[in-house]
Amino acid sequence: MAGAGRDKPNGGFGRRDRNKDKNSGEKDRRFGQKRDWSGRGSRSAGFGGRDESGKTGAQHGGRTGRSRAEDRNDSRTGYQNDRRAAYRMDSRPDQKSGRYPEWDRATPDTEELNDENRLEGRNPVLEAFRSGRAVDKVFLQSGLQDGMILTIAREARKAGSVISYVPKERLNQMSETGHHQGVIAYAASYAYADVQDILRKAREKDEDPFIFLLDGIEDPHNLGAIIRTANLAGAHGVIITKHRSAMLTATVARASAGALNYTPVAKVTNLAVTMEELKKQGIWFVCADMNGPSMYSQKLTGPIGLVIGNEGEGVSRLIREKCDFTASIPMRGDIDSLNASVAAGVLAYEIVRQREQK
């Protein structure tokens, strides 16, 4: 009787019956398929793995339940990617640290956890996308692969939202209602503009374009302060990145002191590509770099884009190489750097000074 539980389908957490011959060839009830936690799939067809015949689950049509014709259309790629991503990020903590592998990377800022723009539940999140509302981030429970979850993931990709797969325990901590249904999203407090909207604003004022480009500003208070500075310095807009950047949350709106209502903010996937496109329209780019020449020795007039880097790492190498020249702020104290928003303000007003003297 003591070992009866081991003979049930899930008895004893899938351990083998110790009374059976180890060499009998009988497979472990739970792990007999030798599940691969690295995300490369298992021996059974269905999760992208291959069966004994060498065919994949998609080739069999097996678990996917999709016809050969459907497998060839565009949605199949996203469908498989969602399943594989959910499988890769399944809920197994690291043995040494006890933390989940994607836990820290997918955790929103503290301000976002209490943000009024949080959306919980499948229908509210899906309707937000369908209504055209700007959604910055979507957190999906890893392991869920039903139709509605995959539809939300597909809509999020179309809208350019950041998707993160996290364990159910993480969603439980993030949830206020306790009924997240495996989905939590954060909508933007303000709608994003387009890069062309920023250029249009410059044309309407009959001015040379003046744009702030932020390479990985992650602190929402810094982002809000930079938007406030951009507005007061007469800049026509701000460009941020989709990844590694604070989004337009209520915290950013408060830090901007209302400037967010008047300053268009565009969100782009690839800042380097955006810079190349703007160069074709005659815009020059100056990068804030503490090792560059003094800003007082540089000509900062004409159509210009001011590039400000991440709070800790500065401007990335690729973005720095895309800039036409660099400029530094003279330092006379004992430390060698300024806060990102302060540095943006100092450089912006040097641009304003030179423009007024022109």
Q: What is the pLDDT of residues 161-208, one digit of tens each?
A: 888 899 988 988 888 878 888 999 988 878 889 999 999 999 999 999
User: What is the structure's pLDDT at 248?
Assistant: 87
Pick the more confident residue, 206 or 84.
Answer: 206
Buried b (16+ CB within 10 A) or exposed e, 258-291: ebbeebbbbbbeebeebbeebeeeebbbbbbbee
Q: If you write DSSP's letter for every residue of 327-357 in order, what string do you get?
A: EB----SSS----HHHHHHHHHHHHHHHHHH
Q: Does 203 or 127 have the greater pLDDT score?
A: 203
Sheet of 135-141, strands arranged across: 118-120, 183-187, 135-141, 162-166
Going by pLDDT thresholds of 50, 70 and 90, the confidence category of residue 274 is: very high
- 346: exposed, middle or buried (Cβ count in 10 Å: 0-12, 13-18, 19+): middle
Residue range 319-339: mean pLDDT, rounded:
89
Contact 305, 277 (CB under 8 A): no
What span, in angstroms and rounded, lies between the C-alpha atoms of 350 and 233? 10
What the block records as the tokens of 102 is 């994607």
Q: Which helix (H) or strand (E) holds 240?
A: strand 237-241
What residues contact 292, with CB distance under 8 A and at least 6 apart? 325, 326, 327, 328
Q: What percent of the chain has pLDDT over 70?
A: 67
Look at residue 339 and tell me whether its pLDDT is greater than 70.
yes
Classify 195-357 by CATH class.
alpha beta
What per-residue confidence (pLDDT) applies to 243?
A: 83
321 to 20, 232, 317, 318: CA distances (angstroms): 66, 29, 6, 5
The confidence band for 355, taking pLDDT boundaries of 50, 70 and 90, is very high
Domain segments of the chain as ranges: 34-72, 110-187, 195-357
* Residue 327: pLDDT band with limits 50, 70, 90: very high
CATH number of 110-187: 3.40.50.1820, 1.20.120.330, 3.30.1330.30, 3.40.50.80?
3.30.1330.30
From residue 168, give the alpha-carbon distance in Å to each of 86, 154, 179, 181, 207: 12, 20, 11, 9, 51
Whole-angstrom Cα distance, residue 235 to residue 212? 7
Token pair of 103, please? 């836990």
pLDDT greater than 50 at residue 306: yes
Q: What is the mean pLDDT of residues 19-40?
A: 42
**Per-residue pLDDT for 66 more than 60?**
no
Structure confidence at residue 203 (pLDDT): 94
Question: Which residues neighbour 223 within 8 Å (Cβ) at sequence distance 6 or greater?
Answer: 214, 217, 240, 245, 246, 252, 255
